[in-house]
Amino acid sequence: MPDGSVRAIVIDAHAPSRIGLAALLEEQPWIESCLLASGSEESVALTRRHRPDVAILDISQTGPFAGSITAMIREAHPGVQILLSSRCRTSPGAPPASLGAVGFLPAGVTSEDVVDQVRAAVLGVEPLDFDLPAPTAGGLDLSDREREILVLLGTGLTNREIGERLHLGPDSIKKTATALYRKLGVRNRTEAAQRAATVLAA
């Protein structure tokens, strides 16, 4: 990778973590610059203005809304590669790809792993395979597919949009969502979306 060829942005509400990760990346000769953002609105504005190659989004405080944030970032610059990260053992609740990201950096990974994962994202190669912390879903016995759909419901997507994201037909989404509502004890998608943050963070 040529020196000074990559622009990055670190999105994290926690200033020390944000600054620390940026400092690590700026030590790499192939990093041209590293932008800092504390929230989604700032990250979208900076992404639209500077068109970074890679974005690292911390999900520790996004709850189930990581997917909607990645969508806004990609709308601002479709060419950006997005990595999810967590400093608090937060799980993304669904495979990164279903949330618009190319990989996930869980808490506790080494600096070398962070650098390697960012490089892999930029080059478009297979990301490192880290073990994802399993979401507890509030003690509910949710399937992986139900967790995926709950996360996406929390972002406000319709059944059709969820089906497109997960490459599933509308009947399959409706059937899974109905089973999910029953387990959550809710009556509709609005109530499920309202419960998503609490359930997935439990």
**CATH number of the domain that residue 116 is part of:** 3.40.50.2300
Question: What domain range is 108 assigned to?
Answer: 6-123
- Are 109 and 154 within one domain? no
What are the pLDDT digits (tens) for 139-169?
A: 466 777 888 888 887 777 888 888 898 888 8
Residue where the block lists tokens 């400093």:
87
pLDDT at 136 over 50: no
Retrieve residue 89's tokens: 């053992």
CA atoms within 13 A on the CB side of 98: 24
Higher pLDDT, 17 or 183: 17
- Look at residue 128 and tell me if it is in a domain: no
Q: What percent of the chain has pLDDT over 90?
A: 37
Residue 9 confidence class, pLDDT cut points 50, 70, 90: very high
Instruction: Answer for the pair 51, 77: CB distance below 8 angstroms, yes or no.
Output: yes
Residue 49 confidence class, pLDDT cut points 50, 70, 90: very high
Residue 116: C-alpha distances to residues 50, 87, 144, 164, 193 (Å): 23, 18, 28, 31, 35
Instruction: Single out the residue in 123, 155, 189 at which a domain terminates.
Output: 123
pLDDT at 127 over 90: no
Looking at residue 137, its pLDDT comes to 47
pLDDT at 63 over 50: yes
- Look at residue 176 and tell me if it is in a domain: yes
- Look at residue 131 and tell me if it is in a domain: no
Mean pLDDT across the stretch 179-196?
76
pLDDT at 110 over 90: no
- Are 97 and 10 within one domain? yes
pLDDT at 201 over 70: no
